Structure 1
Amino acid sequence: MMTLTEEAQHARRQAEKKQDKQAVLLRAAPLPNSDRWLWLGNLPAAQDGALLLQSGITSTLNLAVNLHPAALTLADGTTVRRTQVGLIDGAGNHVNHLLAGVLALDGMVHQESPGKPSYPLHRRGDILVHCRGGRSRSVAVLALYLTFSQPTKYPDVTAALAHLRQLRGTDEAHPCQPLMTLIHQVAEMPLRNYLFA
């Protein structure tokens, strides 16, 4: 991995801060046997009702421990279903917490949207996976999910990470090193045949 100078690291952080104020929403992968998609994005995208409606997104998975998007109803009356597994952007997460994010995403993919009088109006649609900037925590969970759920297209986590990094325009600096360690630990778990069959 290339090491950046202090000046280059500062410039990168400044560019990321500027980008984090703008909505980033990218089609990450289609869901097999479905017309639905998984999307990669950031917090501003998760808060933009018009953008979510235009993109067919009706559920969001927030992977930031420190951010809590408000409840949101789209212009068509659909309530966005919000799920959160709070991960730290850096050291401090446990391998099971990262796994919880992957399992939560799998649950969202397969969850039906039954109508009940006590439930806000919801319809099944695409899913946005996001954190603050859409570069580290969300990429970690999406890469693992794609590896487990679509092994023909993403035979290992390296292939899934390469796809998401290219899509997001990032390099090996993201996901951050503490998350990369956990990503490889989760990827080695014998989950594919048990949970994602």
Structure 2
Amino acid sequence: MTRHALPTDTPAHEAREDARPLLYRASETPGPGLGTLWLGNLPAAEDAQALHKNGITATLNLAMNIFPGPLVLSDGTQVRRYQIGMIDGAGNAPQTLAAAVQLIDGLAAGYTPGKPHYPAHRPGGLLVHCRGGRSRSVTVLALWLHLRRPATYPDLATALAHLRALRGTDDTYPLPPMLALAQEVLDRGLCAR
């Protein structure tokens, strides 16, 4: 079985980005269970040195076609892997996007230490990623920032502008179906403030 079903028709500028780890600090200390929230891509999620250097001990993969494997940091910490798979385009349920926001809430609410027979772990940051860190992960983080940091991000557009500036993308990302999905989550009140 292949761990990643990557597209073969990726535009050249995306392919160049997708070939190297990208990490962007999206939000400081979202709660007692999590340190910093990070936005990134698949190569970052698989780079033990980059994760360790930035204090990241968990990842949230928002793609349904990629599967980062087990990863141990140089201090023996096993990276915890979470996944809520979405398509980068139309076809996702708004509840799935809401679940990703709520998973971040759950991880931030308190640290789960595990049990003696679980892999070694310690609290740290969370990398939110998809393949390229341009659409699915930006949508989830923008929705989370708007809903959980409304004083700084009073609307979704403000949160998106912040993440686009960090990521260096224009308004072609996130893709329109992802933005429509985020608006549906807001309109239906699927993630209470």
**Fold shared, TM-score > 0.5 on shorter chain:** yes
Q: Which amino acid aligns with 2:119?
A: P
* Residue 18 (structure 2) aligns with: 20
Q: Who is 2:101 aligned against?
A: 102
> Cα RMSD between the aligned structures?
1.7
When the two structures are superposed, what TM-score results if normalisation uses the length of structure 1? 0.87
Equivalent in the alignment of 2:77: 78
Instruction: Spell out structure 1 runs of 4+ moving beyond 3 A.
Output: 32-35, 189-192
Alignment partner, residue 181 of structure 2: 182
Structure 2 stretches lacking a partner, 5+ long: 1-9
Q: TM-score, normalised by structure 2?
A: 0.89
Describe how 1:49-68 pairs up with structure 2 within 5 A: 49-68=48-67
- SS of residue paired to 2:119: coil
Structure 1 residues 94-103 or 111-120, which shifts more? 111-120
Identity, % of aligned positions: 51
2:95/2:190 contact within 8 Å kept? no
Deviates more, 1:28-37 or 1:98-107: 28-37
Q: Which of 1 and 2 has greater Rg?
A: 1
1:94 & 1:165 partners in 2: Cα distance? Answer: 24
- Shift, 1:101, TM fit: 1.2
Matched residues in 1 for 2:111 and 2:23: separation? 24
For residues 116-155 of structure 1, the aligned pairs below 5 Å read: 116-155=115-154
Instruction: Give the letter aligned to residue 109 of structure 1.
Output: A
Instruction: Determine if contact 1:87/1:93 at 8 Å carries over to the other structure.
Output: yes
Question: What is the CA deviation profile of residues 138-185 of structure 1, one whole-angstrom value per residue up to 9, with x for unaligned ones?
Answer: 000000111111111111111100000010011111110111110111
Does the aligned pair in 2 maintain the 1:157–1:187 contact within 8 Å?
A: no
Work out the number of aligned pairs and report it: 183
In the aligned structure 1, how far is the partner of 2:94 from the partner of 2:37? 23
